[in-house]
Amino acid sequence: MGIWIRKEGGVTAPEGFLAAGVGAGIKKNGKKDIALIYSEKTCTAAGVFTTNLVKAAPLLLDMEHLAKTGGKAQAVIVNSGNANACTGEQGAKDAVAMAELTAAKLGLKREEVLVSSTGVIGVNMPMEKVTAGISLAAETLARSGGSAAAQAIMTTDTVPKEVALTFQLEGKEVTIGAMAKGSGMIHPNMATMLCFITTDVAVEGEALRQSLKTAVDATFNMLTVDGDTSTNDSVLVLANGVAGNSPLTQNSAGYADFTSALTEVCREMAKKIAGDGEGATKLLEVQVKNAPTLQDARLVAKSVASSNLVKTALFGEDANWGRILCAAGYSGANFDPAKVEIYLKSAAGELQTAAQGAGIPFDEDQAAAILKEKEIIFIIDLRDGEAEACAYTCDFSYDYVKINADYRT
């Protein structure tokens, strides 16, 4: 693990990146809904996309662009308020038009622009508004535009989500910045969440792809809010090399440090998404320790984090450790239930509630105090190996149903 220093700026914190966020009238509430990220130099690019068989038009276009360029890009155009998913041939044309319009404004080739959309599924894009928004975004690109861009990609999010870390890499000061959106329709396997990452590190294509996969597997694929894997989930990373380090390969001395920092950025974004889950009142981190294998640890962590019974008990501040053990048991992981220990932890303290797979006497008042905090950790010690993993989620409240019962209206 490296030494990282947090930095202001999100996607524009790394050198050589500009961004903008503007309102084009796509959303009914009049808020910002077009975001643009632009690098002053061509970037090595990589993406991880939803495993949902139903994929939105922008995702299919991005996969095509990344394949055609061999993993190169220079800009990302994003809209919120409309997912451009399940929109047929017209949706595909609209995604291409967004790339072409952005490319024309920035003097790029269409294939150098990646496209992303989020919002309501099954509605055609209001292209007159989108076109005007792209023009305005291109005209307002700035180093100070990162926060506006983060606001423009929000849907049911209550707060914008951005982070930036700077660190030393092979004697150079480098930065990784990110912005993300996600509140509902969040579940592992490229959990509707979007994340856009920028860095001034020089890194070769295959190394960047593998680093991103490692980071996503440990963070976004360990994230759940409601069990729904979206049609639009994407994580895109652009690396422009402005920092001037020797381009990283998987054999480079600094590759592990870069991957660790990228993973930390993704972890910060995953936790922000979980903490801002629709209707959420609490952020939950599920830590699994001493599992036989990494796969076992991840299965248990994800199963507990995905359990509606666990999440409703968390909302009710009920120390129902039996639901935790039950969810671990149906996870498909290999472990001995008779060895398991369970702990509850927060800023109010730490309390053991189970040992050797069975309940033990514990102070209910202390448990209640722990669960009243906004950030909670469940520790599940399998005592059956050395592997560990974390999953991230939130509680299930009454407001989740209210938000999603009338989402289209």
- Asked if 323 and 376 count as a contact pair (C-beta separation under 8 A), the reply is no
Clarify whether 156 is annotated catalytic.
no
β-bridge pairing 34-49 and 17-22 = antiparallel
> What six digits make up the tokens of 163?
């982070």
What are residue 78's DSSP bridge partners?
35, 116
- Asked if 379 and 391 count as a contact pair (C-beta separation under 8 A), the reply is no
Q: Which of 99, 102, 137 is nearest to 115 (CA)?
A: 99
161/186 Cα distance (integer angstroms)? 15
| Active-site option among 192, 198, 199, 224 | 192
Report DSSP letters for 231-284, one per residue.
Answer: SS-EEEEEE--TT-PPPB-TTSTTHHHHHHHHHHHHHHHHHHHHHT-TT---EE
CA 312 to chain centre: 23
10/293 Cα distance (integer angstroms)? 35
- Asked if 225 and 184 count as a contact pair (C-beta separation under 8 A), the reply is yes
**Furthest-apart CA pair in the chain: how many Å?**
68
- Asked if 391 and 324 count as a contact pair (C-beta separation under 8 A), the reply is no
26/80 Cα distance (integer angstroms)? 7
Could you tell me which residues come within 8 angstroms of residue 220 by beta carbon, excluding any fewer than 6 positions away? Answer: 48, 188, 190, 191, 193, 195, 235, 266, 269, 270
Q: How many CB atoms neighbour CB 31 within 10 A?
A: 15
Q: Which residues are catalytic?
A: 192
